[in-house]
Amino acid sequence: MSARDAQMSARDPKGTPQISARAPSRETGSMVVNGASELMGASEYKKWGDNGSELMNGSELMDGSELMNGSELMNGSELCNGSEVAGHTATQLAGVLSSISGASVFLKHNFAGSDKAVQSRASLIPRHNSSSFVSRNYEVVKELGKGSFSRVQLLRDRRSGAARVLKISEGGMGTKQSQMIKNEIQLLSVLDHPNIVKIYECSEDIRRGQLLMVLDYVGGGDCQQLLRSSKTPQNEAFVAKLIWQLLSVLCYCHARGILHCDIKPENMMLTNTRGTGELPDCKVIDFGLTHRIDQPTRDFVGTPSYMAPEIVKGTVAYTVKADMWSVGVTACELLAAKAPFGRPSDYKGKIDPVLQNIRDYRNFRDIERRLAKSDSWNSRSSSAKEFVGSIVLMDPADRPHADQSLEHSWLLKNKGGPTFLSNEMMKSMARFMGASPLMRRCLLIIAARVGSPKMERIGGVFLSIDSQHTGRISREDLAASVSAAASCWEPEIDVDDFFDAADQDRRDVVTFSEFAATCLWGTDDTTNTIAERVFKALDDNHDGMVTISECRHLFRDCDLMELRNLPTNRAFGINEWRVAVGGSDDPLPAKKKQPQGFLAQLVKSLICSEDDPSVDDGYEVVCK
């Protein structure tokens, strides 16, 4: 089951097969890899073919191959061919990640000398050696889907009430599907971007042969579902916004030596909207087929309808330009409500006609002819069509990089105005600056392990500040943003002092999680309330007790000095923890809502542009 299925209940989309193979053979127009392939997705349609082969979604396979639901191809693909990367490497992930699909291996060795950002981010994600953590920390709401080797459940976090998704890979640790899940867990543990689906914790249960990961619940469905369910063309500005966010993710990944290798509408999840007229945001999922930039591969990888010509023909190794081709095809499909090169379901499940359409492609006029009868495409602006044409170019060398496409006039015009720092964010930042280094670290742990209902809004501000699309905020970017937001209502903030406080790993940049940590101190928060929130985040076993050995790795040396009064030979509870972090051991008083007069409410509505970050808006779970 793909990561897409982990974000939605099982429906009946006609998914397209996803391929990862070295030397695919073809029989009767369909794709077969080593005679024992498995493709999985969300389709419920199934029929039986000749020679005992099992087929779903109308595809045709021979010789006992199994095709399920028209999505990921697992067996028969070489995920790791034993090649290794030495201790020095061009990517920022080397030394931390284990194997990555597609003939490359990230060596897993000591953190010494490797990138601090990767160390810090990865260390914040809880890792368990047993799947029993799920029943302790979560309540299962319902099952969302089930495949031959995996299943997906909707959860509710017992600690925060937040909706989460649990993806479980079963069938043993040696399968290639389990290897892909491992790859995805490792990557999501270190990637830190507002438009990449967030992982909260994971487990490798060797005894049960299970891999588990708990992910953000993204409840708006994927972009392919959006196209199928819509009777009218998508708003062009909305499409531009989604593509801008997708390119922002690729810009971030490519700069870190990562190729996604499976960009398509199904892997673009949409958030639930919280206000009238508000458009959903995009979260990119499914990092199981990821490759490394510095380890060129000619693997036949991706989903046929979105593969670049050089990948289909096998003439050039997979590069960032192949990802960019997929962006262009995805943008075209969202604008036209039709895949420009077709889908296997258009050809009775056969893949070869789709691949042949891509092989025959010469220039953008070919797409224009294919979409000539599409009312949706014909209604689009010349600027939108020019954007697609600027990417879907036959020669990879002619295609732009992600950061170049982000500056296209069509995207800049439609992506919406910048999201400025709000009054409440500025107040939180001022409190964060005045807090101890230990309390700042506690807020970072909360941001990474628990999150907040405000994370999407905070992410929008973060991306507006990040003018260079690096996925990190520079000192200059922050200064410009604070200056733009400053008014008589906001507290005065010394940008340099704030930046130094936010930059907890001393790398002269602020990551998304670090920035989010500065925005989580609400008006009603005290050292005690924050201490309680972080204690819940540290209490992996949900038993009300924590040991210093369990959480030592999350804190810096200066933090551990402040925690020196905690017992080292036994577990401690919330009262001892509160005192250790600078609070009191008194129980928290119950919150009392004070009635506000009309004048007070009017003044508040005039000066406050955002709800208090400490207020829990709650999470709406659509499934019942």
* Whether 481 and 435 share a structural domain: yes
> Which contiguous run of DSSP H or E holds residue 32?
strand 30-32
Q: Does residue 76 carry a pLDDT above 60? A: no
Are 255 and 352 part of one and the same domain?
yes
Bridge partners, residue 214, by sequence = 166, 201
Dist. CA 478–CA 472, nearest whole Å: 10
**Residue 413 scores a pLDDT above 90:** yes
- Per the CB < 8 A criterion, the answer to whether 515 and 458 are in contact is yes
Residue 504 resides in a domain: yes
Q: Which residue has the tokens 């193979």?
A: 21
Q: pLDDT tens digit string along 86-124?
A: 333 333 333 333 333 333 333 233 323 345 555 567 889
- Please report which helix (H) or strand (E) contains residue 598, including its range: helix 598-607
Note whether 402 and 255 are within 8 A (CB): no
Residues 529 and 452 in one domain: yes
Structure tokens at 245: 């966010």
Structural domain that includes position 229:
223-414
Q: Provide the Cα torsion 328, 333, 335, 338; round to 10°.
A: 150
Instruction: Say yes or no to pLDDT of 255 above 70.
Output: yes
Name the one residue in this structure whose structure tokens are 């299962």. 140
194 SS3 class: coil
**DSSP structural state of residue 398:** G
Q: Quick one: 445 and 478 in the same domain?
A: yes
pLDDT level of residue 147 (50, 70, 90 thresholds):
confident
Write down the pLDDT at residue 86: 31
Q: What is residue 223's three-state secondary structure?
A: helix
pLDDT for residue 352: 96
Cβ neighbors of 382 (< 8 A, separation 6 or more) are: none
Answer for the pair 148, 46: CB distance below 8 angstroms, yes or no.
Answer: no
What value does the mean pLDDT take over residues 420-449?
94
Residue 48 included in any domain: no
Per-residue HEC secondary structure of 315-355 comes to CCCCCHHHHHHHHHHHHHHHHHCCCCCCCHHHHCCCCHHHH
In a domain, 6, yes or no: no
pLDDT recorded at residue 620: 37
Show which of 216, 246, 272 is a domain's final residue: 216
- Give the angle 588-591-592 at the CA atoms, nearest 5°: 140
- What value does the mean pLDDT take over residues 205-218? 93
pLDDT tens, 114-124? 455 555 678 89
Q: Do the domain assignments include residue 11?
A: no
Residue 243, in any domain of the structure:
yes
3-state secondary structure of 64: coil
Residue 72: what pLDDT? 37
Q: The tokens 């490394």 sit on which residue?
A: 292
Residue 64 falls in which region: left (phi positive, over 0), alpha (psi -120 to 50) or beta: left
- Closest by CA position to 218, among listed 238, 235, 202, 196: 196
Mean pLDDT of 407-420: 90
Q: CA-based angle 102:182:105, to the nearest 5? A: 40
The candidate with the shortest Cα–Cα distance to 424, out of 495, 472, 489, 504, is: 489
**Whole-angstrom Cα distance, residue 365 to residue 602?**
57
Q: Are 290 and 102 in contact (CB under 8 A)?
A: yes
Spatial contact of 152 and 228, defined as CB atoms under 8 Å apart: no
CA 116 to chain centre: 21
| Both tokens assigned to 473 | 């905020």
User: Domain for residue 361, yes or no?
Assistant: yes
pLDDT digits (tens, 9 = 90+) for 225-239: 999 999 999 999 999
Of residues 492 and 436, more confidently modeled? 436
Instruction: Give the type of residue at 524.
Output: D
Same structural domain, 543 and 437: yes
Q: Are residues 354 and 437 in the same domain?
A: no
**Close Cβ partners of 4 (under 8 Å, ≥ 6 residues apart):** 41, 42, 71, 222, 266, 267, 269, 285, 286
Please state, rounded to an integer, the average pLDDT across all residues of the chain: 79
Q: What is the CB-side half-sphere exposure of residue 246 using CA atoms within 13 A?
A: 30
**What pLDDT does residue 506 have?**
92
CATH number for position 432: 1.10.238.10
Cα separation of 236 and 386, whole Å? 13
Q: Are residues 385 and 432 in the same domain?
A: no
**Would the pLDDT of 412 be above 70?**
yes
Residue 356 CB contacts under 8 Å (≥ 6 apart), including other chains: none
Amino acid at 551: C
Cβ atoms 127, 201 nearer than 8 A: yes
How far is Cα 463 from Cα 450, in angstroms, rounded to an integer?
A: 21
Structural domain ending residue among the three candidates 155, 182, 216:
216
By percentage, how much of the chain surpasses pLDDT 70?
Answer: 73
**Which pLDDT value is given to residue 540?**
81
Residue closest to 287 by CA, chosen among 204, 193, 404 = 193
Element (H, E) at 56: strand 54-56
- Segment 464-521, tens digit of pLDDT: 999 999 999 999 999 999 888 876 556 678 999 999 999 998 999 999 999 999 999 9
Residue 103 lies in a domain: no
CATH code at position 311: 1.10.510.10
Residues 429 and 349 in one domain: no
Q: Are residues 339 and 409 in the same domain?
A: yes
Helix ranges restricted to H, 450-585: 455-465, 475-485, 495-502, 512-518, 527-538, 548-551, 557-562, 574-580
Q: How many domains does the chain have?
A: 3
* Claim to verify: residue 158 and residue 243 sit in the same structural domain: no
| DSSP assignment of 105-154 | E-----STTS-HHHHHHHHTS-EESSTTHHHHHEEEEEEEEE-SSEEEEE
Does 353 fall in a domain? yes
Query: Is there a single domain that holds both residue 462 and residue 516?
Result: yes
pLDDT for 542: 81
CB neighbours of residue 267 within 10 Å:
29
The 3-class SS string of 117-128 reads HHHHHHHCCCEE
* Gyration radius of the chain's alpha carbons: 25
CB 533 within 8 A of CB 149: no
**What's 132's domain CATH number?**
3.30.200.20
Round to whole Å and give the CA distance between 499 and 404: 28
Residue with tokens 């340099």: 496
Is there a single domain that holds both residue 281 and residue 305? yes
Residue 92 to residue 132: CA distance in whole angstroms: 33
d(CA 467, CA 489): 26
- The answer, yes or no, to whether residue 404 has pLDDT greater than 70, is yes
Range from 125-129, 376-380, 401-405 carrying the lowest mean pLDDT: 125-129
Contacts of 185 (CB under 8 A, 6+ apart): 199, 202, 211, 213
* Domain end point (choices 394, 414, 434): 414
